[in-house]
Amino acid sequence: MSRRTSAWVAWSVCALSLSIMAVGLLLIFLGWSTPLPLGWYPWTYMAIDIVAALGAPLLGGLIASQRPENSYGWLWLGMGMSFALATFTPVYASYALVVAPGSLPAPRMLASLGQAEGYAAIIILGSFIFLLFPNGRLPSRRWRPLAWSIVAVGVVLVILAVFLDYKAGRYRNPLGIGGAVGETIGVLYYGGQLFLVGAIVLSVLSLVFRYRGADFEERQQIKWFAYAAAFASVWVLLLFFVSETLHSLLGNVVLVGLYAAIAIAVLKHHLYDIDHLINRTLVYGSLTVVFAGIFVIIGEVAQELFLAVTRQEESWLSVIVSALVIAAFSEPLKQRIEHFVDRRIFRKEGKSS
């Protein structure tokens, strides 16, 4: 297949995925004013899910059109199509069952199969997102058993999903099999998902082994991936501190960063900027943590002193004192942190610019 043909196929698959998501957003717009029953996904949640998925087919189209020999781009195109099915089908069912009943064919079947098949494909491809990064090949032959196990279990999951007795308070799969056979299918399906989650963990570990045996260029590529993954980890932790809607919105920002980092790493644009970026993140991230601690500690001390002297609470005093201390120690702290990062982490002499 020529490069031009590969690019045409890649962008065609990308356009199909984006079209499916665009139709989903259109249905959300049309049904926005209609409240959904309790237990259904709200319109806002489904819209955020679709917007978050838009970057996957775009990333796949970009990599596959520029590097058609690298299977990693085609992998992301498959992920984009899986995202499209998994996010579109619940919107389709909500519109066809609540907003305009009977207006669209087979909403329960499409929604059940779309979600079951879509999520199964996402888990399967998610393993290879780590396992094949960044060149579309396994780190070594030792990882072949894991790759073939993922494929085998994935095929079984895709087949079982057709007959899964799917019901989550919204709709039921018309092809689902109940009774003892259905329970067996459910156990096998969710057991297979659990296996694939474990495979994803092993695939993440494969990046560590790949990094140890990689040359300098490939190490820079892995650093880009790890840099974006670090922010994704912080985003996961934020789930315990922010609202669900805000967490979803922040997730979109994190995903955009992940897509950008992967594109830079695979296409090797500004590849060698990663060390400077990590350096600046460590320096200013540490400064932010230190200043936040200073602000809290001095604020509490100043507040207690003011209260002891005047018997009144004044929040402005603590803010002013904290700001003055931070301004006084800003540059010395920055220099010390830069020196520590350069000497202990990057093994450099002198300070960074």
Please state the domain extents for the chain. Answer: 3-271, 277-345
Q: What is the pLDDT of residue 39?
A: 77
The pTM of this model reads 0.77
Q: Largest alpha-carbon pair distance within the chain? A: 81
CA distances from 283 to 194, 232, 294, 327 (A): 39, 19, 16, 17
Report residue 189 as tokens.
């399906």
Q: What is the pLDDT of residue 77?
A: 93
Q: List b or e across 89-112, with b for residues whose CB sees 16 or more CB atoms inside 10 angstroms.
A: bbbbbbbbbbbeeeeeeebbbbbb
Cis? peptide before 134, omega within 30° of 0: yes
Q: What is the pLDDT along the chain (353 residues), one digit of tens a residue?
A: 678 889 999 999 999 999 999 999 999 999 999 998 887 888 988 998 899 889 999 999 999 998 999 999 999 999 999 899 889 988 998 999 899 988 888 888 887 777 777 777 878 888 899 999 988 899 989 999 999 999 999 888 888 888 877 664 466 777 778 788 888 888 898 898 899 889 989 999 999 999 988 888 888 899 888 888 887 777 777 766 767 677 777 777 888 888 888 888 888 877 777 676 667 766 666 677 777 777 677 766 666 666 666 665 555 666 676 677 777 777 777 777 777 766 765 566 444 44
Tell me phi and psi for residue 167, to 5 degrees: -155, 125
The DSSP result for 66-131, as a single string, is H-TT-HHHHHHHHHHHHHHHHHHHHHHHHIIIIISTTSSS-HHHHHHHHHHHHHHHHHHHHHHHHH
The DSSP result for 9-66, as a single string, is HHHHHHHHHHHHHHHHHHHHHHHTTSPPPTTSPPHHHHHHHHHHHTHHHHHHHHHHHH
Report residue 313 as tokens.
């609470």
CB 254 within 8 A of CB 235: yes
Strands (E), 244-306: none
For 167, the 3-state DSSP assignment is: strand
Q: What is the pLDDT of residue 312?
A: 57
Tell me phi and psi for residue 38, to 5 degrees: -60, 135
* Interatomic CA distance for residues 321 and 301, integer angstroms: 10
Report the topology of domain 3-271.
Rhopdopsin 7-helix transmembrane proteins (1.20.1070)
CB 46 within 8 A of CB 91: yes
Q: What is the pLDDT of residue 168?
A: 47
For 302, the 3-state DSSP assignment is: helix
* Interatomic CA distance for residues 339 and 219, integer angstroms: 24
Q: What is the pLDDT of residue 315?
A: 56
Quickly count: other Cβ atoms within 10 Å of residue 178's Cβ. Answer: 12
